[in-house]
Structure 1
Amino acid sequence: MAASSFLFTLLLVLLTFSDSTVKILGLGVGINYGQIANNLPSPSRVAFLLRSLNISRVKLYDADPNVLMAFSNSNVDFIIGLGNEYLQNMTDPVKAQNWILQRVQPHLPQTRITCIVVGNEVFKGNDKQLWNNLLPAMQTVYNTLVNLGLDKQVTVTTAHSLDILGVSYPPSAGAFRQDLGEYLHAILNFHAQIKSPFLINAYPYFAYKDNPNEVQIEYVLFQPNQGMVDPVTNLRYDNMLFAQVDAVYSAIRQMGHTDIEVRVSETGWPSKGDENEVGATPENAGLYNGNLLKKIEQKQGTPAKPNVPIDIHVFALFNENLKPGPASERNYGLYYPDGTPVYNIGVQGYLPELVYSSPSTKNEFSVFSLLILVIAYLISA
C-alpha cells in the first residue's frame, strides 16, 4: 500500500512538472510525413510519436518499406506516393504490377494502405510527356489493383497544385486553365468512375506572400475578419482556404461533375523564410495550423459544401533540412527532428520526448516511458 501511495505521488509530480505530458489530439487531422532530411528520427520513433498524438492518417511521398513496416498493426491509414519519375513506367502493366507486388501488397493488411497518389503536381511544370502519362499511369495502377483484388482496399488518385485554376475568384467562378481542359476532364471522368477523391495542395501562404498589401492577414490565418461575399451565390467566406476549395468544386462542376469530393492533401504555413518571404514566422504558422485544427475539430464544411467536413492533411510533420528552394521549404514542420514543437498550435500538453539510441541515452528512460511503467505498476497492484 505504501509503495502504491509513493508511486501515485510520483505520478502526480511527473504529470505536474514534466514537459513530456501528452495531450491526445484526436482531431481527425492527417499529416504529411516528408523525409527529405538527414536528421529525422527512425520510423519506429515516429510511429510512437503519432500514436501519442492519436493521429491516424499519414501521407507519404513514396512507399518506404521501413515506414510501412514500422506502422504494422498501428491502425494508421496511409496514403502512399508514386513520384513523377515513375509515371512513364507505370503506364506499362507489367511494371505497374511489379511495383505493387513489391511495394504495396507485402504490407497489406498489417499496414492500412488506403490510397496511392500517382504523381504530384504534374501540371505545375511544363513537361508535356508527364501530362500525357499521368492518366494512363493512374488507370494502369488502378487496373492492376483490380486484377490483384486490392481495389476495394486501395484507391488511386493524384495531387494537384492550385496552378490548375485559371480563375479562382469569386469561388463560384472557379475554372480550370484552358490548356488543361482536356487532361482534367478525362481525369475527372476517371475519378467519377472509380469514386476516388480529387486532391489539391492549397497554400493561402503563397497568396499572402505575393501580395501582403492586398491580402488581409486575418483572412488567411482563420482569424476574425469581414471576409468576402460571393456576388453570385451570396455565400460568405471568412478564410481563403475554404474559398480555394470551393473554387475547385466550381471548376469541377463546370466540367459536368457534382459527384467528386475535393480533399486537401497539403496545406500549411512556414515558420521561417528568406528575407523576401513575408509572413513566414512561428507566430503566423502557429495561428494558421492552430486555427485550422479548430476548424477540423468542429467538422466544418466549406460554405458551398457545409455538410461535407473538409478533409485535410497538414504539411508537414517535421522540418526537412535537405529540401531545395527558399528557406521556407525547410521550415513547414510542426516539429523539429528531435521531437520538440516548433511553435504552439493551441493544443494542451506537449509531445512525448523522443529518445535516440546512443551511448549517452541507451540506459535512460524518457519521462513518458516512466509514466507508462508507473501506470502499469499501479494497475497491476
Structure 2
Amino acid sequence: MADSKLTTKATARLSLPLFVLFTVLTVAEAALVTEVKKQDDDQPFVGVNIGTDVSNLLSPTALVSFLQLQKITHIRLYDADTDILRALAHTKIRVVVGVPNNQLLAIGSSNATAAAWIDRNVVAFYPETLITGIVVGDEVFTTVPSSSPILLPAIQSLYSALVASNLHTQIKISTPHSASIILDPFPPSQAFFNQSLVPIVLPLLQFLSKTGSPLMMNLYPYYVFMQNKGVVPLDNCLFKPLTPSKEMVDPNTLLHYTNVLDAMIDAAYFSMKNLNITDVVVHVTESGWPSKGDSKEPYATMDNADTYNSNLIKHVFDRSGTPLHPEFTSSVYIYELFNEDLRSPPVSEANWGLFYGNSTPVYLLHVSGSGTFMATDTTNQTYCVAMDGVDPRTLQAALDWACGPGRANCSEIQPGESCYHPNNVKNHASYAFDSYYQKEGETAGSCDFKGAAMITTTDPSHGSCIFPGSKKVSNKTETGGSSSSNVTDTSGAAADRLWFWRGTRRPEVSHTLLVLLLTWLVFAIFDATMR
C-alpha cells in the first residue's frame, strides 16, 4: 500500500515537468513550421495563371495531379473555384484566389457580403489549402472604369473580414493593374501614374503600404514591342544577351536596362515614388508571350514564346532584381498554363499557354545552359502515365487493353522484372500506357485510354525501373544525339527549382534551450523517484 502511494506521488510530481516539456516542444514545432512557411513565401517564385476558357478542361483532381507532376507550386485562379480549392488541400501548392470584376459592387457595398465571401472561399479551406493571397478584380481601372470607385472599399471590406478571422498576416490582398495606368514609362525615372487616376490610386497605394501588400502589375513586353516596332528591339523584350551599346540607358539615373520587363517594373517603382510611396513591392501577376498569331501578329511564334518564358524564369531565379532595386526580385506568374481555345480572336488570345488543354506541352521550357533555345530531342520528350483518382477497375481494363490488343511491351511489369514493384495497378498501367504511347510515336490521341491517362514531361522512371520514353532518350543520346549536359532537366530537383525557389535559409531551433529543458526534466524525474 505504501509503495502504491509512493508511486502515485512520484507520478504526480512527474506530470508537471512532462506537461511543461510537451507544451514547450509543441509551441517550438509550430513556430518552426510557421517560420519555414514564411521564409519560403518570402522567396521570389515563378507561378502560373490558370484560365478556364478551355474545352475539355481537366477535372479539379486531374488538374492538381498535373500540377504536382509538373512541380508547379504557385498558381493564380481568376475566381475561387471551390472544387479546385478542395482538390488542392494537403498539397504544397500555394494558390492566389480571385474576386471577379462583376462581384466588386456587391462586396464593396456590404461588409456582410465581404465577410461571407471570405468565410465561403477562404476560411472554409485554409490552412489545408495554402491560400496565400486574394486578387480583387483584374485591371479594373482600364477594363471596367465605372467600378473604380468601389474597388478600394471592396478590398478594405475583404481585409476587415480577414482581420476578423485572424488571417490578415498570412493572406495578402491586392488588385492587378494594366501597364497602361503608367504614362511615359521610359526612361523609367520619368514614369508617372495617369493623373486622372491619382485620386483613387494614391489611397490604394497607402492601403498596400499599411498592410504590407504588393502592387500587382500585369506586364507584357510583347505588347510593348508590338506597339513600338522599330523603337524597342525584339532582343530587349526576349531577355536575350545584349552588347553594352544595345542596352537601354536611363539618362536621368544612368541605370542600364538589359530587358524591357525590368524597365517596366522600375517604371512602377518610380511612379510610386512620385506619390511618396517607397515601401510597396511590385509583383508581376501576368507576363508571357503568345506562341501563335494571325497575319498581323508575326512575332507570336513558338520560338519567341519559348525564349521569353524560359529566359523570364531564369531571370527570376537569378535573383538579380532590377537596376533600381537589385536587392529585391519580383515574383512572376506566367500567363498562362493552358491555351484557352475558347477565347475570341485575335488568334494570339487563344495561344498564351504552356500546354494544350489535353496537357500536351505547346513547347518545352529551357532553363539551364546557354546559347540557343531550340528544342532538343531530350527536352521534347513526353511520357504517358496513369492519372490520379481513376477507379482501379478502369485502370485495369485500360492496362489489359494496352498489353493485349494495343500490343504494348509489358514484359518489364511481370513478376521479378525491374518495373514490377510497386505492385499496384496504377504503377503497372503507367508503364503500359507509356509503352503504347512511345510505340505510337507520342501522338496525343495515343495517350487517352478513355480519360485514364495523361501526358507529362516529368520522367516517371524510378529506381531501376526505366520507362520506355526514358529508354528512347538514352538511346538517342548514346547514338550521337544532343549532349545531356546541355539539356533542361524538368524532373526531380531541377523541376522543383523551375517553379519554386527553395531558399537555403532555415530557422534554427535553439539547442541550448532544448538541452536545458531535457536537463531539467532529468533532474525532475530523479527528484520524483528519490522522494
Structures share fold, TM-score greater than 0.5: yes
CA contact (8 A) 2:236 2:259 kept: yes
- Taking the aligned partners of 1:198 and 1:265, their CA distance within structure 2 comes to 9
Alignment-derived partner of residue 200 in structure 1? 217
- Taking the aligned partners of 2:125 and 2:383, their CA distance within structure 1 comes to 27
* Correspondence for 1:366 among 416, 430, 435: 430
Per the alignment, do residues 189 and 363 of structure 1 end up closer, same or farther by CA in structure 2, a change over 3 Å counting?
A: same
Per the alignment, do residues 354 and 276 of structure 1 end up closer, same or farther by CA in structure 2, a change over 3 Å counting?
A: farther
* 2:272 paired with 1:272: no
**SS of the residue 2:96 aligns to:** strand
* 2:50 paired with 1:33: yes
- Taking the aligned partners of 2:430 and 2:277, their CA distance within structure 1 comes to 52
**SS of the residue 1:31 aligns to:** strand
Q: Deviation at 1:45?
A: 2.0
Alignment-derived partner of residue 358 in structure 2? 338
- Taking the aligned partners of 1:163 and 1:223, their CA distance within structure 2 comes to 25
* Correspondence for 2:113 among 88, 95, 99: 95
CA contact (8 A) 1:339 1:351 kept: no
Deviations 1:31-73 (A, max 9, x none): 1111111222222222222222322111110000111111111
**SS of the residue 1:286 aligns to:** helix
One-letter identity of the residue aligned with 1:185 = L
Q: Deviation at 1:100?
A: 1.4
Q: Deviation at 1:126?
A: 5.5
Q: Deviation at 1:375?
A: 4.3
* Correspondence for 1:310 among 317, 330, 337: 330
Question: In the comparison of the two structures, how many residue pairs are matched?
Answer: 352
Counterparts of residues 119-198 of structure 1 (less than 5 Å): 119-125=137-143, 127-128=145-146, 130-198=147-215
Deviates most, 207-216 or 176-185: 207-216
CA contact (8 A) 2:54 2:338 kept: no
**SS of the residue 2:398 aligns to:** coil
- Taking the aligned partners of 1:255 and 1:265, their CA distance within structure 2 comes to 22
Q: Deviation at 1:28?
A: 3.2
Q: Deviation at 1:27?
A: 8.9
Deviates most, 248-257 or 100-109: 100-109
- Taking the aligned partners of 1:51 and 1:336, their CA distance within structure 2 comes to 17
**SS of the residue 2:189 aligns to:** helix
Alignment-derived partner of residue 10 in structure 1? none
Q: Please, what TM-score do these two structures have when normalized by structure 2? A: 0.63
CA contact (8 A) 2:48 2:75 kept: yes
Deviations 1:230-281 (A, max 9, x none): 1111110010001000000000011111100001000000001121123100
Per the alignment, do residues 374 and 192 of structure 1 end up closer, same or farther by CA in structure 2, a change over 3 Å counting?
A: closer
**SS of the residue 1:58 aligns to:** strand
CA contact (8 A) 1:36 1:323 kept: yes
Per the alignment, do residues 341 and 311 of structure 1 end up closer, same or farther by CA in structure 2, a change over 3 Å counting?
A: same
Per the alignment, do residues 351 and 292 of structure 1 end up closer, same or farther by CA in structure 2, a change over 3 Å counting?
A: farther
**SS of the residue 1:287 aligns to:** helix
CA contact (8 A) 2:44 2:329 kept: no
Deviates most, 323-332 or 235-244: 323-332
Q: Please, what TM-score do these two structures have when normalized by structure 1? A: 0.86
**SS of the residue 2:176 aligns to:** strand
- Taking the aligned partners of 2:50 and 2:144, their CA distance within structure 1 comes to 27
One-letter identity of the residue aligned with 1:109 = P
More helix by share: 2
Alignment-derived partner of residue 283 in structure 1? 303
Alignment-derived partner of residue 254 in structure 2? 234
* Rg larger in structure: 2
- Taking the aligned partners of 1:127 and 1:372, their CA distance within structure 2 comes to 49
- Taking the aligned partners of 2:385 and 2:175, their CA distance within structure 1 comes to 33
Per the alignment, do residues 133 and 27 of structure 1 end up closer, same or farther by CA in structure 2, a change over 3 Å counting?
A: closer
Deviations 1:141-197 (A, max 9, x none): 000111122212212100001011122010111100011011100100000111100
CA contact (8 A) 1:212 1:278 kept: no
Deviates most, 258-267 or 271-280: 271-280
Per the alignment, do residues 292 and 172 of structure 1 end up closer, same or farther by CA in structure 2, a change over 3 Å counting?
A: same
Q: Deviation at 1:333?
A: 0.3
Alignment-derived partner of residue 48 in structure 1? 65
Counterparts of residues 293-304 of structure 1 (less than 5 Å): 293-304=313-324
Alignment-derived partner of residue 11 in structure 1? none
Counterparts of residues 211-222 of structure 1 (less than 5 Å): 211-222=228-239
- Taking the aligned partners of 1:126 and 1:372, their CA distance within structure 2 comes to 46
- Taking the aligned partners of 2:385 and 2:302, their CA distance within structure 1 comes to 22
Q: Deviation at 1:125?
A: 2.8
CA contact (8 A) 1:31 1:57 kept: yes
Alignment-derived partner of residue 28 in structure 2? none
Counterparts of residues 108-119 of structure 1 (less than 5 Å): 108-119=126-137
Relative contact order (C-alpha < 8 Å, sep 6+): which is higher? 1
Q: Deviation at 1:362?
A: 5.9
Residue identity over aligned pairs, in percent, reads: 36
Alignment-derived partner of residue 223 in structure 1? 240
CA contact (8 A) 1:49 1:352 kept: no
Q: Deviation at 1:127?
A: 2.9
**SS of the residue 2:183 aligns to:** strand
Q: Deviation at 1:213?
A: 2.5
One-letter identity of the residue aligned with 2:186 = Y
Deviates most, 348-357 or 92-101: 348-357
One-letter identity of the residue aligned with 2:328 = V
- Taking the aligned partners of 2:289 and 2:45, their CA distance within structure 1 comes to 19
Q: Deviation at 1:323?
A: 1.8
One-letter identity of the residue aligned with 1:99 = W
Per the alignment, do residues 354 and 240 of structure 1 end up closer, same or farther by CA in structure 2, a change over 3 Å counting?
A: farther
* Correspondence for 2:269 among 249, 264, 281: 249
**SS of the residue 2:174 aligns to:** strand
CA contact (8 A) 1:167 1:177 kept: no
Pairwise CA RMSD: 2.5
